[in-house]
């Protein structure tokens, strides 16, 4: 039986890559580099903002010693245009409404820093679904360490056997497996390489299809 559902954010609930790309390219322009395309930026998403910025610098051959300065630039630009281009994936809002109405406990576990994660959810009217939001800087560790996911489940009053984690990446899959939690994979997100030994419990190509699958496991 599933009673608790925890979601990843970027690439799972929202298509945020265009705004991440815009912030990254403004940062790179300030550092004297040409822009990078969205496919490259998408390949850098999933392990937190610091990892994304570090990968951008490495991609253009910039001095890694300037990571702190580049991070400040990125955060400033991204905060300014957090949801200019970012939107929920089709079917996400009806899915969350249906699960909320069905009495499921819903939480968010992302590697995006907590403040922009909360600000993004507020701007897109998603915060009403998530009493618990945990970001990549909330704890001392981040995904794929299982501690963040376990923290969210505990805060929601859930248990491992009754929880489903929904994500789009290898990081999410490893997090769920290490936490001993069932995993639903959204294959319309940002994972663009094969995952070794990949055996998700559920797979969906449209987020709107997930509600029916979850309800089947809630009876």
| Residues known to be catalytic | 8
Residue 30 counted as an annotated binding residue: no
Residue 172 counted as an annotated binding residue: no
> Rounded CA gap, 29 and 49, in Å?
18
Residue 8 counted as an annotated binding residue: yes
Residue ranges for the known binding site are 8, 10, 168
């Amino acid at each position: 039986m599933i009673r608790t559902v925890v979601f990843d954010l970027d690439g799972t609930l929202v298509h945020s890559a265009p705004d991440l790309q815009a912030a990254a390219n403004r940062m790179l322009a300030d550092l004297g580099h040409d822009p990078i395309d969205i496919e490259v930026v998408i390949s850098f998403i999933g392990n937190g903002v610091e990892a994304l910025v570090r990968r951008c610098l490495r991609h253009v051959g910039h001095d890694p010693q300037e990571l702190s300065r580049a991070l400040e630039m990125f955060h400033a630009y991204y905060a300014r245009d957090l949801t200019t281009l970012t939107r929920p994936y089709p079917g996400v809002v009806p899915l969350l409404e249906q699960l909320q109405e069905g009495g499921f406990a819903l939480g968010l576990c992302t590697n995006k820093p907590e403040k922009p994660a909360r600000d993004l959810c507020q701007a897109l009217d998603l915060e009403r679904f998530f009493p618990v939001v945990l970001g990549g800087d909330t704890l001392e560790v981040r995904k794929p360490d299982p501690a963040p996911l376990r923290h969210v489940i505990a805060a929601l009053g859930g248990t491992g056997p009754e929880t489903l984690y929904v994500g789009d990446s290898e990081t999410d899959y490893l997090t769920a497996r290490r936490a001993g939690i069932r995993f639903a994979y959204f294959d319309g997100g940002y994972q663009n390489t094969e995952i070794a030994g990949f055996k998700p419990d559920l797979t969906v190509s449209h987020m709107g299809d997930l509600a029916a699958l979850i309800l089947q496991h809630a009876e």
